[in-house]
Structure 1
Amino acid sequence: MRVAVFRFFTQRNYISDNPLGLIKTPAAARRSPRCISQNEKNALLKEMRYRRGAREYAIVLTFLRLGLRVHELCDLQLRDLMLSEKKGTAYISGKGDKYRELELEADLEERIERNKTPHRLEHKPTKRDITFSEQDLKQTMEQHRLNSLEGEIIKENYLRINNTKINAREVAEIIKNRFDL
């Protein structure tokens, strides 16, 4: 505060020299962003879905699921989305305008097992009918190719991970290291 006052006085020619001019002001402490809990996310989504409408729900869902910064969400354009009946891809230009594309894949048996976990059943209502979910996954895999072929996509900021035998924490570490996050 004092440094700013003396700088102001010097700029307005009230004083000739700033006695504190050589003192460097300390950098502001950076806080880690606070993450909201799963219960807070669920409450927010419920509020958006039932009281605000489809548009607001879609905005908040996109924001939360993709882990976007506010400016990334605001900059998102329709042309940045590639949507099909079974999956979608959002191309987000993030910090430093770096584009990154990530493809996760897992074997059919692993996908079926993951669809039965309590977490998946809690957060994905369409998976709760386990028999239907399993049949739908098998049918989808027969009719559509859900992942790229090995070597099919050659891009600098593209990463393909087969996460059949590795956990989410290991996948996150691979992504962090590959994209220097």
Structure 2
Amino acid sequence: MELNTSNPTVKLVEYTDAHTSQLSNFYLPQVQLEFTSLPIDKINNPSFSNSSIHVVIMSNNEPVGYFALEDGEKVLKYSDNPKAMVLTSFSINAEFQGKGLAKLGLKLLPTFVNEVSPDTNEIVLGVNKRNTAAINLYLKSGFADEKQIYEGPKGPQHVLHLVL
């Protein structure tokens, strides 16, 4: 897979079966799997709400990343805003990390959410306090830390907010 790193074309698209093969080959180091899940594991999770959205980060028409936008009861863990969605399972395939693609993908998030879920006015997420790289990425991408902590299954998480 060649990647034009000097000027990548990055876009967010809803997952379709056409992405399955490439997302099945997604690789994350074990240290990152402590904080997130592989895309196919999330996509095939039977508890995932039908009204939630699987999102693929594309660079030069190649799937390089993934995250989910979830609604329903999961939102209540992070926010009392009925128009919020939770961003979960954000990851960039290891071979594409360090190229700024995560930040570019997150910059597109407000426009993407406005198109696919126009009633949503906030994105919230929980990020493990030990995952400083992710915390810094989200803060640099416009998320705000309102000093809320959520006790997650793998330890305390900062709850970050992005008002749309």
**Quick check: TM above 0.5?**
no
TM-score, normalising length: structure 1: 0.23
TM-score, normalising length: structure 2: 0.25
Larger strand percent: 2
Q: Which has the higher contact order (CA 8 A, sep 6+)?
A: 2
| Larger Cα-atom Rg | 1
